[in-house]
Structure 1
């Protein structure tokens, strides 16, 4: 995944997540505010109904009639005497006389105490159910507003992200073009220096001149490897690679010979334990893979150190006794432009390329390192490629 895409996703998650959290709080408060209004309105209706029933009781009382009937659609009505004994009721619920207004779920109860009793009625209890369809309407309104709000905010987020990421994308594009131009311009002088160094007569040179020539070779091959890395990063999508059967042992031995001057210059001892191992890969990618792992081992080894290379049918490991890697830096060593060492420098390209190639071919990378004691990079080949 591209860095710009990760940045966009991160921005969208933070932006929409924070807006969503705020919107959820607002929606929650709005829902309960509207529900409270419904309950207050319901409470008022129930109080009016209780007063209306009280008036009817007064009417029957004045007629000196003990027989009365009343029914109100949508209301439950119960009458109790001063001892809270039931006189008449249209529902069977148990009443809590300790509360004047309470609810059980969506059922609300009003307990109205009468100052002047008529027909021995001291308490009028009104029951009414909060209309669930109105609650559903409130929720529906919230969801509709949330949906349109989300679409609008998503549009704003995409617009803002494009505006904010535009300078970054321009800078990245400029950097990519610079890398391509640099890689292209490096090819000719590097090739010229290498050819000149190889064909230079060395018979009559003094030891000091030979050492200087070795330094030129090391510097040129270092530049050559950097050129190969830059070329892979800049042009690998435009290059036609072809996977063929390759003996990995032969490639490793060839690259050790290629880096022999660097190895001798640091007086590093190379110990190899390898068996022939065939893999199906593009040769140029295999060379990049081995060159970056081997050159890192050489670069980070101490003067007079050693490098051990083990190759079997299942895996390849390259071990050095160099400066090692700190525990908190292990996670970022495979990121592009991340260099963990301030002493040896580097552009942070090599292990990023190693990681890319390994992902492409299903090769697992394991890193075992102890700071100031050394590192071991192990490539575990997929089972189908074991030969």
Structure 2
């Protein structure tokens, strides 16, 4: 099935933006979920390690209490608090005041078993107050073997889970976008078929109207013919826009040296009847002759859209000035203008800022795409209720 170069291109860009937006949000949520599970797993592993070390610390604590008991009985002879090379210890009284300690670090009594600064602490309460001791703390250095193993497991879990969730998210997004993609493809095919069917009747109407000798017609019939001419040219312009949007990337460019001033005069003459319908005066100002090495159809399409927009968004009885100078031409109107904040967005396809003036919002998008192909510079200056000037330079 052929993919349209009009809606198809826009849809692919929109699809890409949607894809990245969804994946960014999906990745953020995935990271949060993985982080929560990793944190929980880390906590469980830490608690498991502490429980495994608890028996060792309880054994050391029991040894310390036994030594303290002996000291309590023989205090008059020894007067040296028990200590060991296997662990550090500290003794606190009932008011949590330090009696003796083999370490300078700050100790806590609000937890029974805890890990702090790489040291495992166990707080024990003897059955008897030997030498006024109420709290016994024993502590050993954590070898951190569990920590390294936990880090490795969490890293593997994070990588595998992240890649798996990313793949699932991508598949889900593609499935969600499929109905829209199918609808866009169907719409593109419809546009292609419609524009193809419009070609012959529109071309026939325009050609036959141009062959009519209007000087021999009475005024009443001439007005009717002019209305038909305006309607046919309007439809023809829409048809050409749709054709370009549909087949733009498939149209082979036949570049040649185009005299810009001659092309401007031709296109102005073509749009004269459309301008007269709104009592708009079109004047041309050829300052200096210039030429472009481009495809005539494409540059005509660019000019047509500038002139069409200048008529469409102009005031009744307004004016359009087309200037041609060395390496630049411009179309200036006395129309409704564009808000300053909207000028940067005006080249976006289907973007319209005035709903009352018709159109599909594709004119300046076509202008922009043709200008991009030939490295032409588009400059738009506008003031609301005063007018707009679009300059094309190279």
Flag whether TM exceeds 0.5 (same fold). yes
CA drift of 1:127 comes to 3.1
CA drift of 1:321 comes to 1.8
Taking the aligned partners of 2:390 and 2:40, their CA distance within structure 1 comes to 56
Three-state SS of the structure 2 residue aligned to 1:238 is coil
CA gap of 1:69–1:295, structure 2 versus 1, over 3 A, is: closer
Taking the aligned partners of 1:378 and 1:32, their CA distance within structure 2 comes to 66
Pairwise CA RMSD of aligned residues? 3.4
Match of 1:10 in 2: 21
TM-score (norm 2): 0.80
Q: 1:265 aligns with which of 249, 254, 277?
A: 277
Q: More deviation in 314-323 or 257-266?
A: 314-323
Match of 2:33 in 1: 22
CA drift of 1:223 comes to 1.6
Taking the aligned partners of 2:294 and 2:352, their CA distance within structure 1 comes to 28
Three-state SS of the structure 1 residue aligned to 2:378 is strand
Query: After the TM superposition, which residues 330-349 of structure 1 pair with which residues of structure 2 at under 5 Å, given as runs?
Result: 330=343, 332-349=345-362
CA drift of 1:57 comes to 4.5
CA drift of 1:27 comes to 2.7
Higher RCO (CA 8 Å, separation ≥ 6 residues): 2
Q: 2:85 aligns with which of 51, 55, 71?
A: 71
TM-score (norm 1): 0.81
Q: 2:183 aligns with which of 147, 152, 171?
A: 171
Three-state SS of the structure 1 residue aligned to 2:335 is coil
Residue by residue over 1:211-261, the C-alpha shift from the partner in whole angstroms, topping out at 9 and shown as x without a partner, is 222222222122221121111111222221133333333322221122122
Taking the aligned partners of 2:118 and 2:319, their CA distance within structure 1 comes to 80
Residue by residue over 1:25-64, the C-alpha shift from the partner in whole angstroms, topping out at 9 and shown as x without a partner, is 3333443454355456556643442222222444577789
Query: After the TM superposition, which residues 1-387 of structure 1 pair with which residues of structure 2 at under 5 Å, given as runs?
Result: 2-39=13-50, 42=53, 45-58=56-69, 66=78, 70-72=84-86, 75-77=87-89, 89=102, 93-96=103-106, 99=109, 105-109=117-121, 115-117=128-130, 125-273=137-285, 274-313=287-326, 315-326=328-339, 330=343, 332-379=345-392, 381=393, 385=394
Taking the aligned partners of 2:140 and 2:84, their CA distance within structure 1 comes to 16
CA gap of 1:206–1:153, structure 2 versus 1, over 3 A, is: same
Taking the aligned partners of 1:171 and 1:98, their CA distance within structure 2 comes to 67
Q: More deviation in 232-241 or 152-161?
A: 152-161
Taking the aligned partners of 1:362 and 1:159, their CA distance within structure 2 comes to 38
CA drift of 1:305 comes to 0.5
8 Å Cα contact 2:83-2:89 kept in structure 1: no
Q: More deviation in 20-29 or 176-185?
A: 20-29
CA gap of 1:69–1:374, structure 2 versus 1, over 3 A, is: closer
CA gap of 1:105–1:98, structure 2 versus 1, over 3 A, is: closer
Taking the aligned partners of 1:313 and 1:132, their CA distance within structure 2 comes to 77
Between Structure 1 and Structure 2, how many residues are aligned?
Answer: 374
What are structure 1's unaligned runs of at least 5 residues?
none
8 Å Cα contact 2:72-2:130 kept in structure 1: no
What are structure 2's unaligned runs of at least 5 residues?
1-11
CA drift of 1:13 comes to 2.4
